[in-house]
Amino acid sequence: MRITNGSKQEKDQLLPPRKNEKEDAPHEVMKKCLIKGQKLDLTKDNPNIDQIHIGLGWDLTGEPIDLDMQVFLLNQEDKLLSPNHLIYYHQQQSLDGSVRHLGDHQVGGGYRDNEMIIMQLSRVSPDIHKIVVTATIHDEHERKHHFGQVTNAYVNLTDQITQQEICTFQLTEDYSYCTSIICAELIRGEDEWKISATGQGTTLDLNDLCRIYRFAS
């Protein structure tokens, strides 16, 4: 599968505030700050959760850097079943309607999640056993950008219904010269979902990641 960046246009939409604003302080006691390699029993610890919001945020330092968030919907062999099982700014909804990308954000900064994905766990097809959340840089080679030039990057997970933040993962490792990060993985068990803070930096681009998670057929 060949992924082309193509032209990107900012989508006009009202973005929800970042969950670390002062107005959300009452929920801070419930939030879990994950560290690299840590796992959380997502649905076991939060039995009423179904619709979740995954947000990617980062701050501006000098020249704007355009980060993009993707999710790979994988089978038991950790492979994509088809090109339609990659959700990103050019393909914003999964076939089963369980995953939606809310559009491209090109600049970063501000008091909000800059890129967002909404997911309804109960609607995820039963042949999907792992959901991998990744972040890449648009035109990274042409612009000579890497994650070492990005500050305060994070991924968080929020209950979409109650707006309560469940966990956050600060991408604070030294990612100098990394052009993508495998941020987190949602792993399905028999009746539960877990989330793992992966935080693996790579020098791969989106096309390379697609080759790693190549089709099962």
Residue appearing with tokens 């700014």 = 89
**5: Cα separation from own chain's centroid:** 18
What is the three-class DSSP state of 207? helix
pLDDT in tens, 56-89: 988 866 677 889 999 999 999 999 999 999 999 9
Annotated domain spans of the chain: 22-212
Judge whether residue 101 has pLDDT over 50.
yes
Residues written for the chain: 217
Residues 190-213 have a mean pLDDT of 95
pLDDT on residue 107: 53
**144: Cα separation from own chain's centroid:** 23
> Structurally, what CATH architecture does the domain formed by 22-212 represent?
Sandwich (2.60)
pLDDT in tens, 31-58: 699 999 999 999 999 999 999 999 998 8
- Percentage above 70 pLDDT, the chain: 80
Residues 161-166 have a mean pLDDT of 95
From the CB of residue 148, how many other CB atoms can be counted at a distance below 10 Å?
12
CB 65 within 8 A of CB 172: no
Q: Look up residue 187 and give its two tokens.
A: 């792993």
Judge whether residue 179 has pLDDT over 50.
yes
- What is the pTM (predicted TM-score) of this model? 0.84
Q: What is the rounded CA–CA span in Å between residue 45 and residue 204?
A: 34
Judge whether residue 172 has pLDDT over 80.
yes
Judge whether residue 27 has pLDDT over 60.
no
**Tell me, what DSSP letter sits at residue 45?**
H
Q: What is the rounded CA–CA span in Å between residue 110 and residue 47?
A: 32
How far lies 11's CA from each of 68, 87, 118, 134, 199, in Å? 14, 17, 16, 21, 28
Residues 11-34 have a mean pLDDT of 50
